[in-house]
Structure 1
């Protein structure tokens, strides 16, 4: 099966689009560095015009900007482009009901050929001719994107899903692009890509299989459509943008030097990939490259090796390959907060955070940046900035690789990448107090909650002999692919907090296996409360945390603290999550006025 069609760009070997006069381009100042901006699906879906007018246009006079886009989101999670593409893939594997001999989608004809027609032809000709068109010998085995159902036949189930994808992107294009010539070209690209998808899914239905590599190609179409729309929106706003598809950037797996294998991808592979991506994008200057998050057929499948966060990983590798000054990840929040501002009204923005703290927040419930993605740029001493599409002048939160993040040099470097909004004198005073507390190691960084947790308790059957008990428990978890978030142990007892995402039958089988090692009990509807920061210098912080919870009548089911002393975590009932967040934030993360008592007011209870 073929790969999706690619439009003109420097990556495909065809000439890039002609640049009209007076188009706004990246700076040609030789001293300027690259700045990689990654936009999530919601940002691209809702704020494409704002990105072009208020963000990219502000940066390209001082930086060489490269844009990376995720697949567009939908009005609901289920209608997001990636979810729709995965749904279409699964629908292609559902066999049609065989009610009669003509229920299939392709009907053989007398000359052994198939009557086929493209989707665009279908629109103009609802009813197909009674006899097939003649075909030359060279056309004997060619299939155009969509085979037309004959009388009595039904359209494949995936057709409806592809129609949704098509209409969503056409509507987005028409709402964002005003130039009729650019819009016509974009609509043609969307139609062509959707025709390709129909043909690809039809071929998969015929052979009854979608390989992991084929699923990668299907899912990768989402980023391509998103980037094509963003490219045209930028050009419509006078910015000289160029669409770049990286589907062929991976070295051939037969190349002995490519590091390709079916096993896990190693760091040398990513290092070589970063160099290849950087070289490719450097050729776009002075145009603004709009780069697909999908980067081709990774050995062993992109989805299985990397997962759906591959767009973030691509942006990190691009930042490394370009030796960028900064990687910016644009979302719909101002940055990382001391707590979830939707649940804690007094939560404040964290201006700077260490990679270790950001990783802990990601593990325990806050959507920051995946630790592996973060590692790619941090090890090259490139900082990451989280920014808000709706508030582009805000400073955001910087994940900085320098351990001495409080030094004046680091602070100056951080401020140089953004133009923050004006700050009131009262706010400046508050920030100075917070900075002073952090400097002396007296305040944690943030508190977070990870919900939908289940606690498994296993007591050994052999009270006097513990040999093999832990091996049996963890061997069982490994066979079932269960990831443990927190663990607390004694010689003959182990408590484990895991995500409550197992289906009922799988959970029943897991519990039966665990009962071979001992008595098992299960507690559901729990959550993990984590206090994150450089806690090793904070004498008494654990006592303050647990005393606060006790005073608030929050029962603690399980406690865990790692040797790194980056976080203290405990398991509590899910119904106490919001109350516990506010309690800990007020008593452990806020500056209290002189003479204030430690206990919080009754409004939280």
Structure 2
């Protein structure tokens, strides 16, 4: 299968002189020079998700070189993560978590704040209505703004004014400094990225207003001395709102008619009745419903380019036990992208990062690693489980089950084809088939197609697809203190793991012996307690500084001798194997080795089992996979 058979939008087509604009301008009025999504009724939606690092470093490039190149032939919808800062510690999400923690800590002197009313914005690039009666806290699921469906106002704000100058005997709350850092980071980004003074002024006012809301929200949490899981989600979601507003303003500054879309008010009010939501984990019907509603909301933006917040914290996860971070983790922006892709029946989901796609091995450790143009969902899921940052398997499932491909692309190399995570080729293509590449095909794309053809020839040899390593692993061996079968032995072990929230990456068992590989992420006190409890079932030994080496490939089900070749190669390289496991999917073989041998083992297996020659296509290197 060639990549031209898969690629509806692998690289942005060259901009034409005539842009597709709507004959009837949307409300609010659009300046005549702004470029809009195509109004071709045959054009498919294309969802582009940009991570926090991309928004932080390449926002102008995204608008100028990426989005502008797609909107003449596709209806583009954009999803943005919270903006990363100049350093990891200054990343918006990290700062918000810090502020939430600070709000729980009371200082010795009194903090300050007075009740009042927030001033609403008029219509503009952020899509607010002129009046917003009935506002309420974003953590209150029943509160709804009376703005129109097209309004994309941020979460309804607490009726509190910004914190004022402290009086005698009072001091700023500790979180106030953290909010100031968030404000400063976004203000500097706006000033360095936006040329139009009017757009800059409107965005600056929006940042000020939102940061005042955050201070008020944190102040209220400090007053009641409580931050619930849903309130915590509201605080985390603030980062997506600021990131999307910044991107919306930059797009308009670059001549693209963009609209900020927040999804708090997208579900009907009856969906908020907690009595109608079953307890326990969310089932697939819930996500299908969310996808439909989100898709309908975003379609209302046409022909403007919607910039959608990735946080599902309020209306989707509010009525159920737990929180967004506990239900989904910090990959919730990818999940929203997937649900939006399904709801729009898009031709493709593009996830833009800072590397060309998925490689056969970590290119920072294996010089001969090369780009994989096409990979199956099962292979991508296995690589995710064993140390490679691909797409979360649950997020991927939402898109792949609708037979929609996912493409990982590089913000710094927009013309590259990236890596396509493609559904089973035996399934029927969605919506009448995937269209061919637009003409003319750029030279860079021809090179990518050539690499894809070479990759197909490589795959015909029935070789594995990739090798990956997961470091910072701990091995725990438990031997039963009974030499005969103990029926409660395994039950006690897994019960202890469950109580301490430990996830097991690999496991090997016999009647009286269990070996487990887990991440070395538990605090030392928790680890000591876990080991102490496990010793009630038998003797326990702990081995740190280990690594999981995994060989992955869908062809491996039918490869005779691949395990022998893998282990023989490691033995010849003097790499000791602590533990061996094969996944139930039969497309991976994993073993645990000492961490100091990780780089050597990767190169040995890459050369022996994948048979990658040094002249293989490399692609642009960056963080492992993307």
TM-score w.r.t. the length of structure 1 is: 0.85
Deviation at 1:335, TM superposition (A): 0.3
CA contact (8 A) 2:373 2:452 kept: no
Change (3 A) 1:592 1:393: closer
- 1:24-423 matches, within 5 Å, as 24-97=35-108, 103-106=109-112, 143-252=160-269, 260-297=277-314, 298=317, 299=319, 300=321, 301-404=323-426, 421-422=443-444
Cα distance in 2 for partners of 1:71, 1:161 equals 16
Contact 2:262 2:308 (8 Å CA) reproduced: yes
Shift of 1:305: 1.8
1:514 and 2:534 are equivalent in the alignment: yes
Report what 2:478 is aligned to.
Answer: 458
Cα deviation for residue 327 of structure 1 reads: 0.2
Work out which structure has the larger RCO, using CA pairs closer than 8 Å and 6 or more positions apart in sequence.
Answer: 2
Q: Could you tell me how far 1:260 is from its partner in structure 2?
A: 2.8
Shift of 1:217: 1.1
Q: Give the aligned partner of residue 475 of structure 1.
A: 495
Change (3 A) 1:414 1:303: farther
Report if the CA contact (8 A) 2:118-2:159 is conserved.
no
- 2:373 touches 2:455 (CA, 8 Å); kept in 1? no
Question: Structure 2: any 5+ residue segments left out of the alignment?
Answer: 1-25, 120-157, 615-626
Residues 1:592 and 1:229: Cα distance change in structure 2 (over 3 Å): closer
Partner Cα separation in structure 2 for residue 284 and residue 417 of structure 1: 28
Change (3 A) 1:254 1:289: closer
Residue ranges of structure 1 left out of the alignment (5+ in a row)? 1-14, 98-102, 108-113, 120-140, 594-605
Query: 2: distance between equivalents of 1:541 and 1:467?
Result: 36
Contact 1:253–1:260, Cα closer than 8 Å, also in 2: no
What is the Cα deviation at residue 117 of structure 1? 11
CA distance in 1, matches of 2:65, 2:379: 31
Shift of 1:592: 6.0
After TM superposition, the structure 1 stretch with the greater mean CA deviation from structure 2, 184-193 or 460-469, is: 460-469
Report the CA distance between 1:149 and its aligned residue.
1.3
Comparing 301-310 with 410-419, which one deviates more in the overlay? 410-419
Aligned residues of 2:480 and 2:539 also touching (Cα < 8 A): yes
**RMSD, matched Cα:** 2.7
Q: Select the residue among 540, 545, 563 that pairs with 2:561.
A: 540
1:580 aligns with 2:601: yes
**How far apart, in 2, do the equivalents of 1:430 and 1:290 lie?**
33
1:466, 1:413 → 2: CA distance? 60
Give the equivalent residue in structure 2 for 1:111.
none
Report the structure number with the largest CA radius of gyration.
1
Give the match for residue 524 of structure 1: 544
User: How far off is 1:437 after superposition?
Assistant: 3.4
Q: Does the 8 Å CA contact 2:575/2:597 hold for their aligned counterparts?
A: yes
**How many residue pairs get matched?**
544
Distance 1:429 1:224, change over 3 A: closer
